Structure 1
Amino acid sequence: MSSEIDSATLLSRASQLIDLARKAGADAADAVVVRSRSQSVSVRLGKVEGTESSESDDFSLRVFVGNRVASVSANPGFDLTVLAERAVAMAKVSPEDPYACLADEANLARSHPDLDLFDPTEVSADQLREAALAMEEAALAVPGVSNSSGSGASAGMGGLVLVTSHGFEGSYMGSRFGRSVSVIAGEGTGMERDYDFDSRLYFADLDASEDIGRRAGERVVKRVNPRQVPTGRDLTVVFDPRVSRGFAGHIAGAINGASVARKSSFLRDKMGQQVLKSGLSITDDPLIVRGSASRPFDGEGVAGERLVMIEDGVLKHWFLSTSTGREIGMPTNGRGVRGGTTVTPGSTNLALEPGDISPEDLIRDVGNGFYVTEVIGQGVNMITGEYSRGATGFWIENGELTFAVSEVTIASNLKDMFMRVTPANDIDRTFGTAAPTIAIEGMTLAGL
């Protein structure tokens, strides 16, 4: 594949843009190219519903004139000189921003480790179609599955090219392959829907289409004929790993430096204090080989390293970019994420580290409770920590999963939930946010 040649060309073009910005009057500048290539095929009931293909190289130039900053974006083919002059002119009339700046030169990545993120495997549209059809066929073959919501397969690549006026040049590419299927069981008003999927950097690592389809079918059949349960307090709720990954994402959001700077996180005053149950840790590592969210440098060219964000329950770090760090008086830790013309802090390969107990034993120890397989709605207030979401899953009775449950709401406050988490040992680090099955005591369930 020609990714290395293309990246060299884009690096040269970005470097030209930096030079022109300096000539136009910028004190400092950086140029970034976000590259993406993707194709996908979707099918339903054995017929192709759509085939899509896209390619883009999106250029962004950020310039600094004193404490004033401006950013502009363009597609390939633009006039470099015009773009640079326009950006500088915009910066000169922009309000001053005391925090906006390039990363300190001392923090820039001096080497770019090979994290094995790019798989050059070429996947044809026919292969994608066959994978999607095989998933759907396997799901529909599960007794009790009555219909399909569709199946799809995709392949793509993406990456970042970054050049700064203080000497940084770097690029990396990553590939991504995915498969997913959604099916229906039951009839009429009793229909239920569920799904399964897989997403990997390397094509050969994908789960077999037939396995994904079978799992989706088995999941949805178990959800047929759900019941409601009575409202109760002080209930132990067990989160399936699909749901606990979202819970870990709430933790990441609460310790994001941008939220701290805006005073929009309920943990904003908790640095150095216990915020999770003792014994629990949250890690973030951008340098995992073949990691789903790995990168050799961040969106500002800063080298990242593995951090224990929360250690033994105690908050140790915020996610920080350079400007966010300056705003709250701390140095960046290489968590800058490039989003078009802006840089904001974010996580990389985040993990709520596992415990020692198996998920089966965890459920057995609960006795009676609620096992959640899906949550619905946006009922999470990151300013106060209030948590209230619709949920479906299975009732736990005498330590065993029994009947399906739907149309209930689970509620608590994240401050309390963080202190009552018990993790199992079944973590799957395939995804950028990883978490095992978890049990959370003391929640409220609103049902009948």
Structure 2
Amino acid sequence: MTALNLTHDPAARSWVETANAPDADFPLQNLPFGAFLRDGDARTGVAIGDRVLDLKALHATGWLEGDAALACAAAAGGTLNPLMAMAPRYASALRAALFDMLSASGTLATRVREHAEALLPGMEAMTMRLPCEIGDYTDFLTSLHHTERHGRYKGLADPLPPAFKSLPIAYHGRASSLRVSGGEVRRPWGQYRDPDGAVRFGPAPAMDFELELAAVVARGNALTQPIAVDDARAHLFGYCLLNDWSAKSIQWFEQVLGPFLGKSFHTSLSPWIVTEEALAPFRKAPPARAGGDPPLMPHLHGARDQETGGLHLTLEARLSTGHLRADGAPAIVITQTHLDNLYWTFAQMVAHHTSNGCNLRTGDLLGSGTISGAADAARACLTELTNAGKDPLVLPNGETRTALEDGDEIVLRARASAPGMVSIGFGACRGRIAPALPWGLAA
């Protein structure tokens, strides 16, 4: 387990004033890692308030020593993967050094402030990139409520798959269409059944969002060598928000072996990786399994995971329409949920994923699945919010939605909090639905 240390000190404040705001996503205690373009050059950095500490520029100063210097050098090449592949102590040493540099009372704070223009550009000027190179993407299905509701919508006699309470179910997603937060999500073409039951090919009529959390693999495992559940979090670098955009009309018609074209057209990822170490103060026991549930298989049961496999993490989704924006109205909160609504922990996902000897690699992405809860407000996709279209979502301006329309924008956010600690955020994961292109034309 990651122990609390000086970087979690709730009394510490940064000389970057925007990091000290009560609602700041990126206070001194967070320091998430990301990737961006600066003057056309691929860089990596760490978010602090509304600025980004440029790791390539920091490495060039030669101020760091020991493990922190080695970690910064690994990240200075424009991608986080080399840093993520190192033993956890290196990223931890870099985090401690950055905390000192950005702290109001840090030993290197004065030096960094004198060179702030070169080292700490403003975040608004950044062109963000995916935070690391992602080779494989696995999306899990770990919310009992999401799974059960969709089973009912499909008319299944038993809405939960037989294996759901015995193992974390997943499918292999498409890494090539992962995109960083922002910009357009183009409505895809595909096959679906129309209301009369006829099969059609055209722009997908039923577009949806799915609110998820994703874990990024740090060090992988060798082929044939599984990862024990209580060792799993040492193989995770950190977490991002993920919007698993879904063309439900396509997905529900095609799905036999699992999701395919209804999912592979676009998946959005928030640009900052909140590290496992940053989340240490917010660890908690995962929810207890209900009486009568099957016992955990040995490879999915770990004493440490049962003590600290959960997180005090709230998540939300907001919807903005073209009419709302034209009227100057804010986006509407349509989902408020909690990570407690996952039936399986991320450590159990890793342990099960590797239980057959499958090798994970640095930069692999593991999605949690839609984080829906029992409460109506905790339904984490539009399909659930509208009971599969039977009860349209009514917005304050009178607009209704049973599916996302062109121009609709979804913004996902999350916040970790615990008594006595400085809460931390993940930044935004956003995307706006764009009209389908004429068939056969490129964007």
TM bin (shorter chain): under 0.3
Higher RCO (C-alpha under 8 Å, 6+ residues apart): 2
Q: Quick check: which has more Rg, 1 or 2?
A: 1
Q: In proportion to residue count, which structure has more strand?
A: 1
TM-score, length-scaled by structure 2 = 0.25
